Amino acid sequence: DPYAYDLPEDVSEGFGASLTSVLELAGARPHNDSSLGRRIVLSSEGSLHVYLLLDASGSVRSENFRLFQECGAAIVDRLSSFEVAVSFAVISFASRALVIVSTAEDESADADEVLHRLENMTFTDHGNATGTNVRGALMEVYHMLLFQKARAERMGHPDSWRHVRHVVILLTDGRFNVGGHPRDVVAKIEDVLEIKPDREDYLDIYAFGVGALEVDVAELAAVASHRRDETHAFKLADAAALRQALEAALVATTLGDLCGVIVPAGASRPPWHVILRAGREQRCAGSLVGGRWVLTAAHCFLGGPAPHAWTADLGEGELVPLQRWVLHENFDVRAGVSRGIPEFYDYDVALVELEREVGTRGTPRGTLTPPSRPRRVCIPCTEDANRAMRKPPGMTCEEQEAELLGRPRVPAEFVSLDPQRMGVQIKRQEAWAACASGATQPGTPYAEAALGEVVTDRFLCSGQESGGPPEAATCKGESGGSLFLERRHRFIQVGVVSWGTFDPCRGGRRTVGGVLLRPPAPPGHRPRDFHISLFRVQPWLRRHLGGVLAFAPL
């Protein structure tokens, strides 16, 4: 039916099967699941060029053009957050084409610069030239390909272009009414890339027609790539439906052993989150950091049974027995008793070794990994964290700390008992003292103690500020869990939840729907939570995880 629209969920399924797989370098196609369709496959020596063609013709209207920009930004943002060599081109077109970013520029591989240019282009850049010249936009892609081949020859690597795979994503709203039919340019592109049956995977052209009734599906199909049992041309009701489809398609499910990925993006329980149980009792939380190892708080094991009586709940009914635990050698909860400190939580970190390896480590690249599968979190001062932040290899631990925690207030999250992701702000620099002082406020066990006797420089501090944004307080049972930050869809744990001045879950009251109630603190009390900074226990982490993780220089 030429007048029917594709449903966003159908578009995301068909488009996503190809696009999301570029997030992993792969040597062969995944098999055993014909429903996934052909996947874009990258060899270890290859890279990917993505060309975004955005319609800015008069019939689009500025609000829809803005949605096109947002769709393009989502593609750049998501693809660049993973460990794949990607360069981007951005072309807007009306009666003529404007190159915003070219793959001929070094900046095409800098996602931040690409996003900056994409987000700052305007609908009015084309003035009164209101036609729809798709052919002109594709000609710019063709010229970029010619330049790439010529540059490869000049640099003495005449065949290097053969390892680059190309994805063209066309977002338009109407017929191609200026510049002639674009099919001949598609033929030129296929010719320059030598697209034959044995190289058809090196070019994918996706055409999205949006909104207006005059969208001609046959014309879209004439531009798009053709594969057996696949669809590369889509027609959606409006730009909002397009955005919905693309966001769903960009959900990452073939990520191998990448750390710090939450799938789907809004999932309440991160895949690294572990619940530690002594028998049936939930004693603490923890985070999967690699192989068999779970990072948690040392105080969780005080007065508890031996390791064999514990299990790690990884979600989805997966329970793994504990083999042993390693507490930080400097942790001594009774160390301050002689000074009037009833419990002292400095160095409150431990590593738990499970009886078997869990997560995605060892998963072949390109293999489909279910979203629910346990996945490790990124921890700082590792090369994993450098890659997650898109920083060069060798970035030091000190530089990572400045990058992640170099502001007075740093948004972060922890995981509640429910489990839900809860928002806090880590207080640093000039905000630190006021936050930390809450440890010795009246009504706490430390009210008569000197602050330095209770809170050392190994603690990160969070808690509601007067006039500040709402912040959650941690509950008993949430200790040992991860305090983590988001950077470009990747998550890095910076702290281990240790202790707090107020337990909002103390009454254990729940709503009719079973949600745990977290009432506010009593008047006059300022809830404060303290977390062991992973930047301050690096020697211990390196000693025990050096064979599992690649650590960055201090």
Active site residues: 299, 348, 479
CA quadruple 403, 409, 411, 413: dihedral sign: positive
**With 0-12 CB in 10 A as exposed, 13-18 as middle and 19+ as buried, what is 2?**
exposed
Among 140, 172, 142, 169, which Cα is nearest to 72's?
A: 169
- CA–CA gap between residue 472 and residue 465 (Å, rounded): 11
- CA–CA gap between residue 48 and residue 202 (Å, rounded): 9
> Three-state secondary structure along 95-163?
CCEEEEECCCCHHHHCHHHHHHHHHHCCHHHHCCCCCCCHHHHHHHHHHHHHHHHHHHHHCCCCCHHHH
CB 42, CB 167: distance < 8 Å: no
The torsion defined by the Cα of 538, 539, 544 and 550, in degrees rounded to 10, comes to 60
Q: Which residue has the tokens 């947002």?
A: 70
Kindly state the greatest CA–CA separation across the chain.
87
Element (H, E) at 66: helix 62-79
Q: DSSP assignment, residue 431?
A: G
Q: Is the peptide bond before 392 cis (omega within 30 degrees of 0)?
A: no
Written as one string, the DSSP assignment of 163-179 is GEEEEEEEEE-S---SS
Helix ranges restricted to H, 272-350: none
Q: What single-letter amino acid sits at 119?
A: E
